[in-house]
Structure 1
Amino acid sequence: MDHLSGMDAIFLHLEAPEVPMHVGSLMVLNLPEGHDDNFVEVVKRHIQERQHLAPLLTRKLVKMPFDLSDPAWVPDEHIDWDYHVRAITLPKPGSNTQLQALTARLHSSLLDRSRPLWELAVIDGLRSGQVAIYIKVHHSGMDGQAGVALGAALFDTTPQGRKIPKPLPKPAAQGDGVGMAELAASGLKHTAQQYVKLVKMLPDMARVAKSMLVPPRDADGQRDWSLPKNLQLLSPRTPLNKTITNQRAFAARTVPLAEMKYVAKAFGVTVNDVVMAATAGALRRYLKDLNALPEKSLTAGVPVSLREAGDGSANNQVSAVVIPLSTDEADPVKRLHKIRDASILSKGFMGRIKAVIPTDLPVLAAPWVISGLAAMTARAGLYDRLPPFSNVAISNVPGLQQQLYCAGAEVVCNYPVSIAFHGMALNVTVTSYNGRMDYGLIACRRTLPQIHELADFLLDEHRQLLAAAQALNEGAGPAVTRQSQTETRPSEARSDAAATAPRRRPPSKEAANGAASPVSTASVPRSRRSARPKAGKAAAVPAGASAAEAPSAEAAAAA
């Protein structure tokens, strides 16, 4: 029996109908030329032949007696493949707006805990003639190792695929036939092991706590007790920080990875800093339009991996840091530099403590204690009154920089679909894939109905940073940009034109792996376009995407 770690189980215990705790991805694929088979059946056979490569496909949870300990994984010998892999057809005209709305609806429903915790939908009816795949997996089972295994099961690097090794002989199945006494003994043993781990870590945790509370002495033997200038202890309240419903809204957008690297190199920051700066600028504009922009800077909850190099253990090892987004700063470039400084401070802090953050905390009767506290907090409306942990979740998930195929079809794009939570109604996750940076914005629909407007603001912030980087590299003076006065949401007609427009190569040497998307080309001021490379071959983009959209998904690894 494979018990969930304390951190894995938290994703189960905090789940409620309003806050599903699964992660997903949305992919758009080009079918092989001449393909005339039922693609959903092709995908189903593809997964069935590879199910032994990814244990999460064939395992389910079994609860401990009286919920006295965290549940455990057991094999499921009776998988209903027609339930887990299903076909959906979009109504006409089959636009990307419809596809993203469907993704939001699919993402809003809970997974059935009596089955393996994943579902996959093959979606046709796109007016581009392409197909889409949406997959969701519960975060309790989507650890780093499981993500790699799922990617190996779903994807190939050639259309022909690869030879799949035969599965090893299966041991005798335990299934649901495990006796109550055996379950109880296993649960108590697991809880005892968790307490032993915690006791062993206490001395290290105490040393780290002391180093955090007591600053080191300087050369004169004095201690500096003042707080860092860019440290923000509390997050302001915004319309995004309240109790949420189970309704979801989803928006997908794309920015070329080469342009992100170009901006990062020009200003001496990281790609992750650029992601946060663009998101911060979009949130500033959105809240300003609502007359709801706080004077105090918004903050982002940013996941941080606790996994040491070479650690292949199958559990979630992640924490989070809170980083000020400098939304009180009007200038995009100054905001970017402030975010960089805050990120460096947060990374240094996490580097000192991550080795002693426990990932397998024991809690007696954890399932009903934690679930009960979470439900009570939501029903009492405390998320509407207490200061939020952070205002928005932002995550950057590195992906593969090569062309992938699924069941012989070419994966065009790969959009992550993550988790919105009470008190933090918006989650912005971005993943890199084959020269692209694919954004997935998921939010409570009632809290953030204008999610596509926010997503278009995000694109415009990228354009401003790119223009400022080009101006800096061309020696056009200080890299200070003014806020754009007019932003209009790209129309469906413009999207279709963009889908077939030739794409320009990125503005840096690192662009060899992928061409810039049409949206970013349109974003560059005409006076700057001479700095952009020559047009190249267009990559396939599904019809209906806004200038930087192209739905796809990250099934291989979710944050």
Structure 2
Amino acid sequence: MLLPMSPTDSMFLIGESRRHPMHVGGLAVFDPPEGSDARDVRAMLDAALTRGEVSPLLRKRAARSLTTLGQWGWESDTEVDLGHHVRHDALPQPGGITELLDLVARLHAGLLDRSRPLWEIHLIEGLADGRLAVYVKIHHALADGMSAMKLLRAALSENPDAREMPAPWEPSVRERPALRLVTDPPTGGTNPLLDVPAAALRVARDTVGEVAGLLPALAGTVDRALHHRGGALTLAAPHSMLNVPIGGARRFAARSWPLERLRLVAKHADATVNDVVLAMCSGALRTFIGALGVLPEHPLIAMVPVSLRGEKRETKTGNEIGMLSCNLGTHLDDPALRLETVHAAMTDGKNAMRTMSRTQNLAASALGTVPLALGMFGIGSFIRPANVMISNVPGPSEPLYWNGARLTALYPLSIPVRGQALNITCTSTDDEIAFGLTGCRRTLPDLAPMLDHLDDELGALEHAVGL
């Protein structure tokens, strides 16, 4: 049975092309348990392949037909070819982090096969320090950053002694008791299909109340943009080297910092950790682009995704994100002033979001991303999108393990698009925060210097707040 796909999710399929792959990814690095090595961890993963079990989410395949009037939907693939989806790669000995990131950049550039479920997992051996790397990519139509992080968390354990854990592509421990064949009778003695009309009526009833507030919310979003205030829409982004057409090849650079360093800066500046992340990116971009002699006179504007998932919502898949535009203050010399500018812009935008419902926020965010969506289809727009996408996805706050192998690093990879040749995504793991820089290889030079600029900017912020 073909289940409908939300318009937000289907946009990532409709806008995809060879130059614009629409998948997100993550590079996880595991330290094998004491007394074992990367080959032992790989052997456990290979053993899981022989079981042939696949999570329900990773069985979902995108499809459309005459019965859906050409609209995208989801169907379940009953025979997933794990030999296609789970692959083995190796670095030339001795492999270092530079070689690993180069390999992952090449893997991240390839399109996912739409005739199959939209995901791949690469098991990468050959790291000189004996660790095993696992690169995962999953289509953005299937999962956003927040839901992808929840999927990762479900595959790992806080217990270093836990064994016989399922592989990342298998049903999690939490999913297994709930699994049943589609031919099994539903629990509770009622047919869930009979609830569909009632659910539709509830949605329609709730939507009627929302529609009345959409036009004022959208008008307010435009008004905020015209007055250069925080919100989902920006009309102030200058032209920069990032706002150009892109190719399909990718560059990738990544590094981690102690999360406590950012927390202390945030505490002393009366800001948030996300504000500090944005300020670090501001200073790094100012230095990186300035060294090339093409820094715009006016400040760069970042598009910042914000999760709209409530704390009690159990949804793990799909996309529920709003957008805020943020003045990065790249025209300012003082790092403290750049942080103040970022904090003011984000506070203003968040206050605006609090006055709107989830539906209104989604509508306002859709309005803000119209120029970006037009760019994905190669259609010009008189409104320039923001210069760069910067997102921060909170991760697990405690050490995590897979069958005794400790997760020691998690680097996020995301999606550059036409008009935004660089995407900066951060995620926290245990006591560190990782910055993943994904860029267009044809447009941007080597991104490794950006990592040093980020480090310099964090040090400058620490000095500015008296640490």
TM-score by length of 2: 0.83
In structure 2, relative to structure 1, the CA distance for the partners of 1:350 and 1:62 (3 Å cut) is: same
SS in 1 for 2:280: helix
**Aligned AA for 2:217?**
V
1:295 Cα deviation after fit = 0.8
Offset from partner CA, 1:476-513 (integer Å, 9 cap, x none) = xxxxxxxxxxxxxxxxxxxxxxxxxxxxxxxxxxxxxx
Question: 2 CA distance for matches of 1:149 and 1:422?
Answer: 29
Question: 2 CA distance for matches of 1:17 and 1:193?
Answer: 40
1:62 Cα deviation after fit = 2.1
**Equivalent of 1:169, from 164, 169, 180?**
180
Could you tell me whether the CA contact under 8 Å between 2:426 and 2:434 is conserved in 1?
Answer: yes
**Aligned AA for 1:201?**
E
Could you tell me whether the CA contact under 8 Å between 1:154 and 1:407 is conserved in 2?
Answer: no
Tell me the residue number matched to 1:486.
Answer: none
Question: 2 CA distance for matches of 1:214 and 1:152?
Answer: 40
SS in 2 for 1:340: helix
Matched, 1:239 2:220: no
Tell me the residue number matched to 1:349.
Answer: 352
Q: How does 1:23-172 map to 2 (within 5 A)?
A: 23-35=24-36, 37=39, 39-46=41-48, 51=53, 54-65=55-66, 68-143=69-144, 146-147=147-148, 150-161=151-162, 164=173, 165-166=176-177, 168-172=179-183
Worse-matched range after superposition: 191-200 or 56-65: 191-200
In structure 2, relative to structure 1, the CA distance for the partners of 1:330 and 1:211 (3 Å cut) is: closer
Tell me the residue number matched to 1:406.
Answer: 402
Root-mean-square deviation (Å): 3.3
Question: 2 CA distance for matches of 1:103 and 1:138?
Answer: 16
**Aligned AA for 2:324?**
V
Could you tell me whether the CA contact under 8 Å between 2:122 and 2:135 is conserved in 1?
Answer: yes
Offset from partner CA, 1:91-130 (integer Å, 9 cap, x none) = 1331111110111111101111111111111111111111
Offset from partner CA, 1:152-205 (integer Å, 9 cap, x none) = 5521222333674456331149xxxxxxxxxxxxxxxx9999999765532121
In structure 2, relative to structure 1, the CA distance for the partners of 1:210 and 1:286 (3 Å cut) is: closer
In structure 2, relative to structure 1, the CA distance for the partners of 1:308 and 1:50 (3 Å cut) is: farther
Could you tell me whether the CA contact under 8 Å between 2:305 and 2:324 is conserved in 1?
Answer: yes
Q: How does 1:243-322 map to 2 (within 5 A)?
A: 243-313=245-315, 314-322=317-325
Question: 2 CA distance for matches of 1:57 and 1:26?
Answer: 18
Question: 2 CA distance for matches of 1:155 and 1:403?
Answer: 10
1:150 Cα deviation after fit = 2.2
Offset from partner CA, 1:298-348 (integer Å, 9 cap, x none) = 000000122234233443111211111000101111111111111111111
Identity of aligned residues (%): 35
Question: 2 CA distance for matches of 1:390 and 1:144?
Answer: 20
In structure 2, relative to structure 1, the CA distance for the partners of 1:447 and 1:133 (3 Å cut) is: same
SS in 2 for 1:114: coil
Bigger share in strand: 2
SS in 1 for 2:93: coil
Tell me the residue number matched to 2:195.
Answer: none
Tell me the residue number matched to 2:217.
Answer: 208
**Aligned AA for 1:344?**
T
Matched, 1:423 2:425: no
**Aligned AA for 1:227?**
H
Question: 2 CA distance for matches of 1:239 and 1:424?
Answer: 9
**Aligned AA for 1:332?**
P
Q: Which has the larger radius of gyration?
A: 1
Tell me the residue number matched to 1:476.
Answer: none
Worse-matched range after superposition: 338-347 or 160-169: 160-169
Question: 1 CA distance for matches of 2:92 and 2:116?
Answer: 30
Aligned residues between the structures: 432
Could you tell me whether the CA contact under 8 Å between 2:63 and 2:75 is conserved in 1?
Answer: yes
In structure 2, relative to structure 1, the CA distance for the partners of 1:127 and 1:466 (3 Å cut) is: same
Tell me the residue number matched to 1:15.
Answer: 16
Question: 2 CA distance for matches of 1:465 and 1:415?
Answer: 23
Question: 2 CA distance for matches of 1:449 and 1:443?
Answer: 9
Could you tell me whether the CA contact under 8 Å between 1:204 and 1:356 is conserved in 2?
Answer: no
Tell me the residue number matched to 1:227.
Answer: 227
What stretches of structure 1 of length at least 5 have no aligned partner? 174-189, 216-224, 362-369, 474-559
SS in 1 for 2:127: coil
1:356 Cα deviation after fit = 3.0
TM-score by length of 1: 0.70
1:6 Cα deviation after fit = 1.0
Could you tell me whether the CA contact under 8 Å between 1:194 and 1:360 is conserved in 2?
Answer: no
SS in 1 for 2:214: helix
Question: 1 CA distance for matches of 2:69 and 2:374?
Answer: 16
In structure 2, relative to structure 1, the CA distance for the partners of 1:269 and 1:49 (3 Å cut) is: farther
In structure 2, relative to structure 1, the CA distance for the partners of 1:420 and 1:320 (3 Å cut) is: same
In structure 2, relative to structure 1, the CA distance for the partners of 1:41 and 1:13 (3 Å cut) is: farther
Could you tell me whether the CA contact under 8 Å between 1:145 and 1:312 is conserved in 2?
Answer: no
Worse-matched range after superposition: 29-38 or 448-457: 29-38
SS in 1 for 2:94: coil
